[in-house]
Amino acid sequence: MKKQKALSLAINAVMAGALLVGASGAMAYQAGDFIVRAGAANVDPNDDSDALALNGNAGTWPGSEAEVDDDTQLGITFTYMLKEHWGVGLLAATPFDHDIEADLGNGTKLDAGSTKHLPPTLTLQYFPMAADSRFQPYVGAGINYTNFFEEDVDSELEAALGGHSTLELDDSWGVAFQVGMDYMINEHWLVNASIWYLDIDTEAKIKSVSGNIVKTDVDIDPMVYMVGIGYKF
């Protein structure tokens, strides 16, 4: 339901912008323009994982899985216009911080740990409207690299595994898709709304000093929602 509401808000923003298409002026998006946007960016995982495997036994907790919560940080995007309708976009942000929960599939849930990540994403963007339109919707496709760091194991899971434990998450490469819109307030300032789908897959490995090891493959595959303001140079 949360994802549907966020998606609905973003779509409504795009539709509202469409109503303003008729207003145009000296707002051209043309080759050489550089657009910077900043605002609130929410990473909302659509997580799915294999069953948690203790010491290689995937049948230890049938129906178990790892769950990742969402987080909102400062998002910053950049677009460099290659020509009138085409640009290259980059998504950057302050580090996202996610709590991880282990659902053991038997009605038991444990706080498993936490991690931070940065998801720089590069896309080729297409702007279909005339260059002088105030309203500039766009779509994009490209590649995402996700770097996980500062992985920590929660004391609740450490107790279950028999002592101090470490968490490792593999970095991820995957495809990325984007839809968004800019609306020019004047020649330089604009408002923006955008959505990304990021293909993020990782292997999570938890090692305990007692010798226990828990592994699982996790598909995080988040939707990223961002609203903010921008400036065109």
Supply the pLDDT for residue 61. Answer: 82
* pLDDT level of residue 40 (50, 70, 90 thresholds): very high
User: For the segment 186-202, what is each residue's pLDDT rounded down to a tens digit?
Assistant: 999 999 999 999 999 99
User: For the segment 201-225, what is each residue's pLDDT rounded down to a tens digit?
Assistant: 999 999 998 888 888 899 999 999 9
Sequential DSSP letters for 121-181: EEEEEE--S-TTBSEEEEEEEEEEEEEEEEEEE-HHHHHHHTS-EEEEE--EEEEEEEEEE
The SS3 of residue 31 is coil
Neighbours of 217 (CB within 10 A): 15
Distances (CA, A) of 203 to 26, 97, 137, 172, 217: 50, 18, 36, 9, 4
Q: How far apart are CA 171 and CA 148, in angstroms?
A: 6
Supply the pLDDT for residue 26. Answer: 52
Q: How far apart are CA 41 and CA 97, in angstroms?
A: 12
The CATH class given to the 2-232 domain equals mainly beta
> Which token pair is 48?
């799915």
Q: How far apart are CA 42 and CA 17, in angstroms?
A: 21
> Which token pair is 219?
């598909």
Domain ranges of the chain: 2-232
